[in-house]
Amino acid sequence: MNQDSPQNTIQRHHHITLCTGGAQEDYDFHTKVLSLKSVKKTALYDGNYPIYHLYYGNDLGQESTLVTSFPMRQSGRKGRKGTGQTTALTLSIPVSAIAFWRKRLADHGFALGETERFGERILQFQHPCGIDYELAAIADDARKPYSNGEVPPELAIRGTHGITVSVRDLEASEEFMGLAWNARRLTTDGKYLRYVFGEGGTGRIVDFVAETRLPPATWTFGEGIVHHCAFQVKDYDVQDAVKANLEGLGYTDTSERKDRGYFDSIYVRTPSGALFEATVSKPKGMLTDEGFDELGTSFKVPPVFANRTKEIMEYLEPLKY
Ligand SMILES: [Fe+2]
> How many angstroms does the Cα of residue 259 sit away from the middle of ligand 1?
11
Both ends of the chain: CA-CA distance in Å?
Answer: 56
> How many angstroms does the Cα of residue 202 sit away from the middle of ligand 1?
19
Give 7's pLDDT tier (boundaries 50, 70, 90): low
Q: Is the pTM of this model over 0.85?
A: yes
Sheet hosting strand 113-117, strand order edge to edge: 113-117, 120-126, 132-138, 85-94, 159-167, 205-210, 192-197, 183-189
Query: What does pLDDT average to over the chain?
Result: 96
At 6 the pLDDT is 53
> How many angstroms does the Cα of residue 114 sit away from the middle of ligand 1?
29
pLDDT at 3 over 60: no
pLDDT at 114 over 80: yes
* pLDDT tens for each residue of 13-23: 999 999 999 99
> How many angstroms does the Cα of residue 264 sit away from the middle of ligand 1?
9
Helix (H) or strand (E) holding 10: none
* pLDDT tens for each residue of 67-94: 999 999 999 999 999 999 999 999 999 9
* 59: CB partners within 8 A, 6+ apart: 37, 144, 146, 147, 148, 292
- Give the distance from CA 226 to its chain's centroid: 8
At 157 the pLDDT is 98
> DSSP string of 56-115?
EESTT--TTSEEEEEE-GGGT-B----BSEEEEEEEEEEGGGHHHHHHHHHHTT---EEE
> How many angstroms does the Cα of residue 51 sit away from the middle of ligand 1?
14
Percent of the chain with pLDDT over 70: 98
* pLDDT tens for each residue of 16-46: 999 999 999 999 999 999 999 999 999 999 9
> How many angstroms does the Cα of residue 66 sit away from the middle of ligand 1?
10
pLDDT at 261 over 80: yes
* pLDDT tens for each residue of 199-247: 999 999 999 999 999 999 999 999 999 999 999 999 999 999 999 999 9
Q: Which of 171, 186, 198, 179 is nearest to 4 (CA)?
A: 179
> How many angstroms does the Cα of residue 292 sit away from the middle of ligand 1?
22
